[in-house]
C-alpha cells in the first residue's frame, strides 16, 4: 500500500503515466483497467497487492497487480457474491507488458499466490481480439503448472458484455455556431421559434428543481435496476452521482412536463471526466475538434414515469433537442453504452428518434465500435 498523501499530485500523475506506458495500448472508446483516479485508489488501498518494478527509463514504478473490487462501485456486488459463494473476489487490472524477467516473475507469483489462496479474480477484457484476450493469464498458469478455469462473471452460460456505440449526426444546413445548446434554445424561445414549455411540453433545463429530483431519481432507479439485475456491471449512476448530474448546468437535460409535473427526462453529458467508464484518451485523439466545440454528447438514456405515460413523450423530448441542434447546425457526435439487453433497443431508438424530425441524419449505429466482456478466473478444482 502506498501513502498517497505523502506524494505530490505531480508525482502521482507521473507514476500513473509511467504505469500506463507499461500497458498494452487501449485503442477502444471503453475504459479497460484503471484510469488515473482508479490507480490512485488502488495503490493506496489496504487490500491491494502491488509490486515495485523498474520501467524502461530505469525509474521505480508501483504496479497494482491485484486490488479490491470495492474500489469500483459500478460492479454488481450482489450478483457477483451470489454467483461466487465462499470466494474472496478481487480484481486484476490490465497486466503490464515488456517487464524484465524478474519483474514479470513478481507479477506471476502474485497472481498464482492469490489463486492458490482460493481467490476469485475478476478481469475485464477487450473482445475485439478474442484469441488473445486470456493469453497473459494462461501464460502465468502454464508457467506455474496449475490449471485455471475462466467463467462468465455473474454466472450462467451467456457472456456478459458492454458495447460502445458512436454515431455522427449531420444536419441539413451546416454552419459554424459557437453557442451552447442551451444558449441556442434560449435564443429560439426569445425569438418565438420555440414555445416556452416549462409547464406543459418539452423544454431544455440548466438544472432540475430540488423538489423534482427525488421523484426523477426513483424513475431512473426503477428502470436501470431492471437492466442491472442479471448483469455484473450496474447500469447508470448511484443516487448521489445521479442527483448531482441533475443539478449540473453542464449536463444537457431535456424535460417534458404535464401540468407542471415531470413525465420524461432525456440526459446527455458533455464532460468526459463525468464518464468514468470511457477511455478519455480515445475521444481526445479521435474527436478533439468535436470536443472543443462541445459537440460530443454522451447519451445517458431517457427516464420516464409510466404512471404518467412518460414513454409517450420520449419522441417529443428528442425532437426538441434535434431542433435546437439543427439551429446550431454543426456535426454532432453521440456515444452511448449498451449491455446485451439494451443493445436490442437503444441504437434503433436513438436513430429513429433523431431522424423522425427530418432534420438530422444518423450514421454509424449499425454496429458497436467496441465491446468488453467480464470474466472471473479461479484455480480449477479436481472433480
What are the residue ranges spanned by the domains of the chain? 4-146, 161-371
pLDDT per position as a tens digit, 232-262: 998 888 899 999 999 999 999 999 999 899 9
* Nine-digit cell string for 342: 439494451
What pLDDT is attached to residue 5?
54
Are 268 and 251 within 8 A, CB to CB? yes
pTM: 0.89
Question: Is the pLDDT at 26 greater than 70, yes or no?
Answer: yes
Task: Please determine, for residue 2, whether its predicted confidence score (pLDDT) is greater than 70.
Answer: no
Query: Which regions of the chain does DSSP assign to beta strands (E)?
Result: 49-54, 60-68, 88-91, 119-126, 148-152, 161-171, 201-205, 252-258, 261-269, 296-304, 332-339, 360-363, 370-379
Quick one: CA torsion of 95, 101, 102, 105, rounded to 10 degrees? 50
CATH 1.10.3720.10 for domain 161-371: no
What percent of the chain lies above the pLDDT cut of 70? 92
Q: Strand, helix or coil at 245?
A: helix
Assess whether pLDDT exceeds 60 at residue 119: yes
Composition of the chain by helix, strand, coil, percent to 5: 40, 25, 35
Question: Residue 362 carries which DSSP code?
Answer: E
Amino acid at each position: 500500500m502506498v501513502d498517497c498523501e505523502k506524494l505530490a499530485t505531480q508525482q502521482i500523475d507521473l507514476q500513473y503515466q509511467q504505469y500506463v506506458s507499461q500497458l498494452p495500448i487501449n485503442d477502444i472508446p471503453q475504459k479497460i483497467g484503471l484510469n488515473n483516479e482508479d490507480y490512485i485508489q488502488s495503490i493506496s488501498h489496504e487490500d491491494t497487492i502491488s509490486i515495485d518494478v523498474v520501467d524502461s527509463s530505469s525509474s521505480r514504478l508501483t504496479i497494482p497487480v491485484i486490488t479490491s473490487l470495492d474500489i469500483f462501485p459500478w460492479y454488481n456486488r450482489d450478483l457477483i457474491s451470489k454467483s461466487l459463494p465462499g470466494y474472496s473476489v478481487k480484481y486484476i487490472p490490465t497486466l503490464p507488458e515488456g517487464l524484465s524477467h524478474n519483474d514479470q516473475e513478481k507479477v506471476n507469483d502474485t497472481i498464482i499466490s492469490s489463486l492458490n489462496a482460493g481467490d476469485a479474480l475478476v478481469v475485464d477484457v477487450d473482445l475485439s481480439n478474442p484469441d488473445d484476450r486470456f493469453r497473459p493469464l494462461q501464460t502465468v498458469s502454464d508457467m506455474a503448472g496449475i490449471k485455471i478455469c475462466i467463467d462468465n462473471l455473474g454466472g450462467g452460460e451467456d457472456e456478459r458484455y458492454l458495447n460502445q456505440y458512436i454515431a455522427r449526426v449531420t444536419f441539413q444546413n451546416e454552419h459554424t455556431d459557437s453557442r451552447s445548446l442551451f444558449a441556442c434554445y434560449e435564443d429560439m424561445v426569445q425569438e418565438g421559434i420555440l414555445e416556452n414549455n416549462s409547464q406543459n411540453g418539452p423544454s431544455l433545463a440548466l438544472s432540475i428543481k430540488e423538489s423534482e429530483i427525488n421523484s426523477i431519481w426513483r424513475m431512473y432507479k426503477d428502470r436501470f435496476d431492471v437492466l442491472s439485475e442479471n448483469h455484473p456491471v450496474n447500469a447508470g449512476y448511484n443516487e448521489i452521482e445521479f442527483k448531482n448530474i441533475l443539478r449540473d448546468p453542464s449536463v444537457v437535460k431535456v424535460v417534458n412536463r404535464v401540468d407542471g409535473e415531470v413525465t420524461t427526462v432525456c440526459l446527455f453529458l458533455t464532460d468526459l471526466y463525468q464518464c468514468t467508464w470511457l477511455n478519455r484518451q480515445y475521444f481526445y485523439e479521435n474527436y478533439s475538434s468535436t470536443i472543443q466545440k462541445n459537440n460530443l454528447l454522451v447519451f445517458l438514456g431517457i427516464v420516464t414515469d409510466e404512471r404518467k405515460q412518460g414513454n409517450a413523450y420520449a419522441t417529443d423530448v428528442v425532437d426538441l433537442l434535434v431542433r435546437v441542434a439543427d439551429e446550431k447546425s454543426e456535426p454532432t457526435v453521440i456515444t452511448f453504452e449498451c449491455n446485451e439487453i439494451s443493445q436490442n433497443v437503444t441504437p434503433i431508438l436513438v436513430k429513429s428518434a433523431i431522424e423522425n424530425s427530418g432534420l438530422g441524419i444518423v450514421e454509424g449505429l449499425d454496429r458497436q465500435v467496441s465491446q468488453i466482456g467480464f470474466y472471473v478466473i479461479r484455480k480449477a478444482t479436481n472433480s
